[in-house]
Chain A
């Protein structure tokens, strides 16, 4: 399931937004931060689909309010559709959703939790500087959702399964991935997310997995 793009050496980002002003603000900033990356842009769902099919971007920035084709009126439904399509794409790109209203993501939340790639949702009004910080988070494979969508400490059932297999059956990551039918990349990201959800932070003196086990036990996730 590793990236098998036509040109693996070249990293590509795709920015999808129907507003010229946003593109003008975002694209140069990204380019400055990631000088080796080729940055593509799309202004409608139609255009974006072609682009995704053609060049398998590693990272995609999506606006939820998007027109289906250049001539039509933008709608959130179109953006959500595109997002769902992106989440089914193989290899799974890391995603960043920029929108004035992130609430519609609520119903995609279970899918986001188990998504193979990183997923970050941000309010569009956030300064570009702030936004760039989160790009790294997405590229790392983490999940970040703003407070409107993430109102409580949630834990996905799949992550729970990973914890069980690890600490009650003692399986290796590879075996767990095989058992629940996910890729190595996904399981790596799951660990990141479990770590975030349990508020466990990397510390040079501590064994991360043991720390996770302790936290999970404390939270009553494993017995």
Chain B
């Protein structure tokens, strides 16, 4: 028993392997393509596109941006802003006691008037942080910080942009010749967190993470998420734009100078001063944010790619660090490479399994669509929870492996089906032709038959067998829908059913058979009643074969029949095809090929077959099947 089961399983497994192998190859190919990094950009696009659909962030912002826009530039007489204006700005802000002020403007040169006042202010304000560009290997491309700021109140604003020109990660710190340098955002966050009594240890940089109070900020690795062998410069982290879908509170320079704001916007918060004027090109690209300060003005002109001001990037970076430290939002995490590849392979395997299990073509396509939607859904919700998991390669593996498997599986199934049909047709042809003929010959052997007659019958049998082969070969070549009746009569099954049945009726009754010899009256059928029903080629074949078989049985067994009644009529919602004779009934209980065939035909038509004896003598053989009204046709006729 167990062995039999195992054997069966093994057989099935061999078939599955044959079908699944190409799908497995597709999965391997997909893993290789991902490994080479060819899918990186598509994966970034998917990431951005999912991020931009994340729900809006409701987390409280501790940051306000003071953006110097075109109107401000007009008022102060253009770029750069004079030092005196900055002094006024800083003085006004300090009056509302912010936690920390970030001066996100490059002030390495004096812009008179008011430089001395600014120098003094910068030197004395302990809550003020300035910016520099410091990570460029070529020193002349770096921009120095304001000279009067002590080094611990300076942060770099260097960024790391991806190959598609878009911003997805921030540089937090970097080991240089001058020692460890920290980013502007990190400096701001550190001071802000200190004011909230959260210690931030700048020393705790491991290769994997950065300690932020009780939380840890995981570091960007060369193959984090969708990245394949990315260049990592210093200590970096991924932007979690999904969790930052909201705009920062923004004031213009004029707003601040005219004190046109609520005091709580400034008190105990981070104020970042930067340029928000399009004429001063301090912008980056991102498509992961639904809205930026810049897109508010020009999103209709550039819908796909959004511009984001440098100051806003710094605000996002500082905000993310603070939120993670305060555990207000999850940080973006990724899986280890092995898990990612396993994930991709699993979806590919799912595709293969779906196709093997669901064998109908539309269902298999539908299942792939549903599975893809589920995959996208999983990726999206994972992103909201802070996990970036591979989407594009998994989707491609699922659909690629699934479609290849579906195609092969169908192909294999068709081939088997075709073989089965061929064998069936062959048997049908032999059974309905030569075998019947042979039966007549054998029967007549009892009676005193002359050898010449017998020879002639055997000769015609021989010819019939040969013609079957020719006909079958032709049919297999052309795949035409024809029915081989006997000798050289071939019916075209495209013809109306009534005509086909008349032909079967007429030709079958022409055959010399003992049962037909004494018939005096043929009560003729009216097959026209079937006209209203739509029959498939298969069903027509079945009905023709049934009629032929039923008439043949009369010819072979019902000796002494004087009256043959073939009836085709409607009874309620059923059609009845009935052959009644009044000859000797066949007492045989043996279920022959003919009966089996009749039962199969009945099943295909959704009806039943029965044979019973007729009073006072004879046999009734009937096929009863439900009407299948072609509604469209009926409707057209009514019209």
Q: Which residues of B contact A197 (CB under 8 A)?
A: 521
Instruction: Decide: A156 and B522 in contact? CB cutoff 8 A.
Output: no
Query: CB within 8 A of B567: which of A154, A157, A219, A221?
Result: A157
Query: CB within 8 A of A219: which of B503, B527, B563?
Result: B563
Instruction: Decide: A107 and B499 in contact? CB cutoff 8 A.
Output: yes
Instruction: Decide: A219 and B520 in contact? CB cutoff 8 A.
Output: yes
B613 within 8 A of A: no
Instruction: Decide: A219 and B562 in contact? CB cutoff 8 A.
Output: yes
A220 within 8 A of B: yes
- Assess A154 versus B523: contact at CB under 8 Å? Given A106-B506, A111-B528, A220-B563: yes
Q: B510 → chain A, closest Cβ, in Å?
A: 7
Instruction: Decide: A153 and B524 in contact? CB cutoff 8 A.
Output: no
Give Cα A160 to B563, complex, Å: 12
Instruction: Decide: B502 and A152 in contact? CB cutoff 8 A.
Output: no
Q: B522 → chain A, closest Cβ, in Å?
A: 5
B582 within 8 A of A: yes
A193 within 8 A of B: no
A109 within 8 A of B: yes
Tell me whether chain B's interface is mostly helix, strand or loop, or mixed. Answer: mixed
Give Cα A152 to B522, complex, Å: 7
Q: Mark A107-119, 1 if CB is under 8 A from B, else 0.
A: 1011101000000
Instruction: Decide: A221 and B521 in contact? CB cutoff 8 A.
Output: yes
Q: Would you list which residues of chain B between 515 and 570 have a CB under 8 Å from chain A? A: 519-528, 562-563, 567
Instruction: Decide: B524 and A155 in contact? CB cutoff 8 A.
Output: yes
A125 within 8 A of B: no
Q: Which residues of A contact B502 (CB under 8 A)?
A: 106-107, 109
Give Cα A219 to B521, complex, Å: 7
Q: A180 → chain B, closest Cβ, in Å?
A: 15
B498 within 8 A of A: yes
How many A-B residue pairs have C-beta atoms within 8 angstroms? Tell me: 56
Instruction: Decide: A110 and B523 in contact? CB cutoff 8 A.
Output: no
Q: A19 → chain B, closest Cβ, in Å?
A: 27
Instruction: Decide: A156 and B528 in contact? CB cutoff 8 A.
Output: no
Instruction: Decide: B528 and A157 in contact? CB cutoff 8 A.
Output: no
Query: CB within 8 A of A113: which of B503, B524, B562, B563?
Result: B524
Q: Which residues of A contact B562 (CB under 8 A)?
A: 219-220
Give Cα A107 to B521, complex, Å: 19
A151 within 8 A of B: yes
Q: Which residues of A contact B503 (CB under 8 A)?
A: 106
Q: Which residues of A contact B524 (CB under 8 A)?
A: 109-110, 113, 154-157
Q: Which residues of B contact A221 (CB under 8 A)?
A: 521, 563
Q: Which residues of B contact A113 (CB under 8 A)?
A: 524
- Assess A160 versus B528: contact at CB under 8 Å? Given A151-B510, A219-B563: no
- Assess A155 versus B523: contact at CB under 8 Å? Given A107-B499, A107-B502, A219-B563: yes
Instruction: Decide: B522 and A154 in contact? CB cutoff 8 A.
Output: yes
Q: Which residues of B contact A151 (CB under 8 A)?
A: 506, 509-510
Q: Which of A107, A155, A160, A219 has the most CB of B within 10 A?
A: A107
Q: Mark A210-223, 1 if CB is under 8 A from B, else 0.
A: 00000000011100
Q: Which residues of A contact B526 (CB under 8 A)?
A: 110-111, 157
Q: Would you list which residues of chain B between 3 and 20 have a CB under 8 Å from chain A? A: none
- Assess A220 versus B528: contact at CB under 8 Å? Given A107-B499, A107-B502, A151-B510: no
- Assess A155 versus B522: contact at CB under 8 Å? Given A107-B499, A107-B502, A221-B563: yes
Q: Would you list which residues of chain A between 132 and 164 have a CB under 8 Å from chain B? A: 151-157, 160
Q: Which residues of B contact A220 (CB under 8 A)?
A: 520-521, 562-563, 582
Q: Would you list which residues of chain A between 68 and 118 have a CB under 8 Å from chain B? A: 106-107, 109-111, 113
Give Cα A106 to B524, complex, Å: 11
Give Cα A109 to B567, complex, Å: 14
Give Cα A219 to B522, complex, Å: 10
Q: B486 → chain A, closest Cβ, in Å?
A: 16
Give Cα A113 to B523, complex, Å: 11
Q: Which residues of A contact B496 (CB under 8 A)?
A: 107
Give Cα A157 to B528, complex, Å: 14
Instruction: Decide: B521 and A110 in contact? CB cutoff 8 A.
Output: no
Q: Nearest residue in B to A159 (C-beta to C-beta)? A: B523
Give Cα A127 to B527, complex, Å: 34
Instruction: Decide: B506 and A153 in contact? CB cutoff 8 A.
Output: no
Given A111-B528, A154-B524, A219-B562, 9 other A-B residues pairs in contact with their CB atoms under 8 A:
A110-B528, A151-B509, A153-B521, A153-B522, A156-B523, A157-B567, A219-B563, A220-B520, A221-B521
Chain A positions within 8 Å of B, measured between CB atoms, are 106-107, 109-111, 113, 151-157, 160, 197, 219-221
Closest 7 pairs (CB-CB, A-B): A110-B526, A154-B524, A220-B563, A155-B521, A154-B522, A220-B562, A219-B520
Can you show 11 pairs from A to B with CB atoms below 8 A apart?
A106-B499, A106-B506, A107-B499, A109-B502, A109-B524, A153-B522, A154-B521, A155-B521, A160-B523, A219-B521, A220-B582
